[in-house]
Amino acid sequence: MSAVLSKSDIKHLVEQKPPLVEGYLDLSQQLQPNGFDLTLRDIAMFQNWGQMGADNAERRLPDLSPLVFGQDGFIDLIPRSYLITYNEIVHLPNTVMALGRPRSSILRCGVNIGTAVWDAGYNGRSQSLMVVYNTQGFRVQKNARMMQLVFFRLSSETEGYSGTYQGENIK
């Protein structure tokens, strides 16, 4: 039977080997009633165009330029799109998938975070698209909680993810 994982289900899976989520900063703050908050590690700007073809051989990702947080740990962002990387590494078993949603405070600042599906079997330190729509910009601190992953137990086990992004950003 499919179901959204509860706080106690998530905590149990975080305590397993491999853990559902590792590299978190504060379990008591990040573990939510219906998910797990991911925190900001890095921000980068897109430097050129990207491309998606009919198959992966025609995929071209844009070059990135990393941004540097100030001495106070904050960075001031102008309205535009950015690629963000999270601190946490996610290890999804072949019976669990996840969807990510921006924290409501992020949306209330005029910022959105776009995510893809976290397929069952995925392992890695994910990245998301962050778009600053607020014409006045956005100020964010390194390690801020940005997005909540909501986990879903599948009705049956699947083969698991084996795509290009398996194991991304772990090194």
Residue-wise pLDDT for 24-54, tens only, equals 999 999 999 999 999 999 999 999 999 999 9
**3-4 vs 145-153, strand pairing mode:** antiparallel
CATH code of the domain in which 23 resides:
2.70.40.10
In contact, 117 and 99? CB cutoff 8 Å: yes
Quick check: 142 pLDDT over 70?
Answer: yes
Question: Is residue 165 a part of any domain in this protein?
Answer: no
Alpha helices for the chain (secondary structure H): 7-14, 27-30, 104-108
Domain hosting residue 135, numbered range: 3-47+64-153
Q: Say what the pLDDT of residue 1 is.
A: 65
Question: Is residue 171 a part of any domain in this protein?
Answer: no
User: Both tokens of residue 84?
Assistant: 């963000």
Question: Is residue 134 a part of any domain in this protein?
Answer: yes
Within 8 A by CB and 6+ apart from 106, the residues are 112, 113, 146, 147
Question: Is residue 166 a part of any domain in this protein?
Answer: no
Question: Is residue 169 a part of any domain in this protein?
Answer: no
How many separate domains does the chain show? 1
Stretch 135-160: mean pLDDT, rounded?
97
Residue-wise pLDDT for 46-80, tens only, equals 999 999 999 888 999 999 999 999 999 999 999 99
Question: Is residue 164 a part of any domain in this protein?
Answer: no
